[in-house]
Amino acid sequence: MLSENVDASVFGIGISFTGVVDPAAHAMLFSSSLPTSSAISLDPLYTAARGVPVVLHNDMHALALRWLMTDPTGGTGDVLLVGLDDGRLGASVLIDGTPHRGSVS
């Protein structure tokens, strides 16, 4: 579906995910949305993008950026957003409006 919609008008593709991804290796390392505990290659998405830049971000970073953009108080650009849902826990830190990827240990 992605490759069918990539044309000259597309300047970037954003992919949001739950879990941890290795952008350099184009792989999702683990996620609550995956049926396996093994890493999954994202190369098919990059191939379908046909050279258009692909941006990978955690879904919580996307939510935090949306909150920052719509904050009626004008926000400072520093945000800690924690999400709790049925079977899911996530967090995002924005420092000066930029997602901080942090580390996994």
pLDDT band per the 50, 70, 90 thresholds, residue 102 = low
**What mean pLDDT is reported for the chain?**
79
pLDDT at 16 over 90: no
Calpha distance 19→104 (Å, rounded): 10
pLDDT band per the 50, 70, 90 thresholds, residue 105 = very low
Q: What percent of the chain has pLDDT over 70?
A: 86
Calpha distance 95→77 (Å, rounded): 6
pTM over cut 0.85:
no
What's residue 76's pLDDT? 67
Beta pairing class for 79-85 and 88-95: antiparallel
Calpha distance 32→24 (Å, rounded): 21
What's residue 47's pLDDT? 92
pLDDT at 43 over 90: yes
pLDDT at 81 over 50: yes
